[in-house]
Amino acid sequence: MPAYVVATMAIHDPATYREYTARTPATVKRYGGRFLTRGQDVQTLEGATFTERMVLLEFPSRQHILDWMKAPEYVEACKFRHAAATCRIIIQEGDANTENPDPRV
Protein backbone atom coordinates (compact mmCIF):
# COMPACT_ATOMS: atom_id res chain seq x y z
CA MET A 1 0.00 0.00 0.00
CA PRO A 2 1.49 3.40 -0.89
CA ALA A 3 2.51 5.74 1.87
CA TYR A 4 3.02 9.47 1.75
CA VAL A 5 5.38 11.95 3.36
CA VAL A 6 4.16 15.46 4.05
CA ALA A 7 7.02 17.74 5.03
CA THR A 8 6.75 21.41 5.89
CA MET A 9 9.66 23.61 6.73
CA ALA A 10 10.47 27.17 7.71
CA ILE A 11 13.85 27.93 6.18
CA HIS A 12 16.12 30.47 7.86
CA ASP A 13 19.33 29.71 5.90
CA PRO A 14 18.52 29.12 2.19
CA ALA A 15 22.13 28.50 1.10
CA THR A 16 22.62 25.70 3.63
CA TYR A 17 19.15 24.32 2.88
CA ARG A 18 20.13 23.97 -0.81
CA GLU A 19 22.88 21.59 0.33
CA TYR A 20 20.10 19.37 1.67
CA THR A 21 17.89 19.65 -1.43
CA ALA A 22 20.84 18.82 -3.69
CA ARG A 23 21.36 15.49 -1.90
CA THR A 24 17.75 14.39 -1.36
CA PRO A 25 16.42 13.32 -4.81
CA ALA A 26 18.88 10.46 -5.27
CA THR A 27 18.07 9.07 -1.82
CA VAL A 28 14.32 9.28 -2.42
CA LYS A 29 14.65 7.41 -5.71
CA ARG A 30 16.93 4.76 -4.16
CA TYR A 31 14.13 3.84 -1.72
CA GLY A 32 11.39 3.70 -4.35
CA GLY A 33 10.00 7.15 -3.64
CA ARG A 34 9.02 10.00 -5.89
CA PHE A 35 8.31 13.66 -5.39
CA LEU A 36 4.69 14.68 -5.92
CA THR A 37 5.49 18.31 -5.13
CA ARG A 38 8.70 20.00 -4.11
CA GLY A 39 8.29 23.53 -2.87
CA GLN A 40 5.73 24.73 -5.40
CA ASP A 41 3.42 27.57 -4.39
CA VAL A 42 0.74 26.68 -1.84
CA GLN A 43 -2.60 28.45 -1.82
CA THR A 44 -4.44 28.65 1.50
CA LEU A 45 -8.18 28.20 1.00
CA GLU A 46 -9.21 28.07 4.64
CA GLY A 47 -7.54 28.80 7.95
CA ALA A 48 -4.32 30.64 8.71
CA THR A 49 -2.19 31.51 5.69
CA PHE A 50 0.38 28.81 4.99
CA THR A 51 3.80 30.42 4.57
CA GLU A 52 6.23 27.49 4.80
CA ARG A 53 7.76 25.26 2.15
CA MET A 54 5.86 22.01 1.53
CA VAL A 55 7.07 18.78 -0.02
CA LEU A 56 4.90 15.74 -0.75
CA LEU A 57 6.46 12.35 -1.51
CA GLU A 58 5.03 8.95 -2.36
CA PHE A 59 6.71 5.66 -1.47
CA PRO A 60 5.61 2.06 -2.07
CA SER A 61 5.05 1.51 1.67
CA ARG A 62 5.55 2.92 5.15
CA GLN A 63 8.55 0.62 5.55
CA HIS A 64 10.21 2.17 2.49
CA ILE A 65 9.87 5.58 4.16
CA LEU A 66 11.28 4.35 7.46
CA ASP A 67 14.22 2.71 5.68
CA TRP A 68 14.87 5.91 3.69
CA MET A 69 14.76 8.09 6.81
CA LYS A 70 17.49 6.04 8.50
CA ALA A 71 19.68 5.48 5.41
CA PRO A 72 23.20 6.80 6.09
CA GLU A 73 23.24 9.06 3.02
CA TYR A 74 19.90 10.62 3.98
CA VAL A 75 20.91 11.04 7.63
CA GLU A 76 24.02 12.87 6.40
CA ALA A 77 21.90 15.16 4.15
CA CYS A 78 19.59 15.93 7.07
CA LYS A 79 22.43 17.65 8.90
CA PHE A 80 22.06 20.52 6.41
CA ARG A 81 18.28 20.65 6.87
CA HIS A 82 18.60 20.69 10.64
CA ALA A 83 21.08 23.57 10.40
CA ALA A 84 18.95 25.58 7.97
CA ALA A 85 15.30 25.04 8.87
CA THR A 86 12.70 23.88 11.32
CA CYS A 87 10.67 21.05 9.91
CA ARG A 88 7.65 18.83 10.45
CA ILE A 89 7.55 15.46 8.70
CA ILE A 90 4.47 13.25 8.85
CA ILE A 91 3.61 9.94 7.23
CA GLN A 92 0.21 8.72 6.13
CA GLU A 93 -0.60 5.44 4.41
CA GLY A 94 -2.85 5.44 1.40
CA ASP A 95 -5.91 3.28 0.92
CA ALA A 96 -6.65 1.06 -2.04
CA ASN A 97 -10.29 2.15 -2.00
CA THR A 98 -10.31 5.55 -3.67
CA GLU A 99 -13.59 5.07 -5.58
CA ASN A 100 -16.01 4.95 -2.64
CA PRO A 101 -14.13 5.53 0.63
CA ASP A 102 -15.84 4.68 3.90
CA PRO A 103 -17.80 7.80 4.90
CA ARG A 104 -17.29 6.99 8.60
CA VAL A 105 -13.52 7.50 8.33
How many structural domains are present in the chain?
1
CA distance 60 to 64: 6
What is residue 105's predicted lDDT score, i.e. its pLDDT? 66
Q: For the domain that residue 87 is a member of, what is the CATH number? A: 3.30.70.100
Residue 31 within a domain? yes
Domain contains 40? yes
pLDDT of residue 57: 98
Predicted pLDDT at 97: 65
Domain-embedded: residue 101? no
Domain housing 37: 3-44+52-93
pTM score: 0.88
Q: Examine residue 105 and state whether it is found in any structural domain, yes or no.
A: no
Alpha helices in 6-100 (DSSP H): 14-30, 62-69, 72-84
* pLDDT-flagged residues of the chain (< 50): none
What pLDDT does 27 receive?
97
Q: Which pLDDT belongs to residue 103?
A: 73
pLDDT at 98: 67
Instruction: Supply the pLDDT for residue 95.
Output: 78
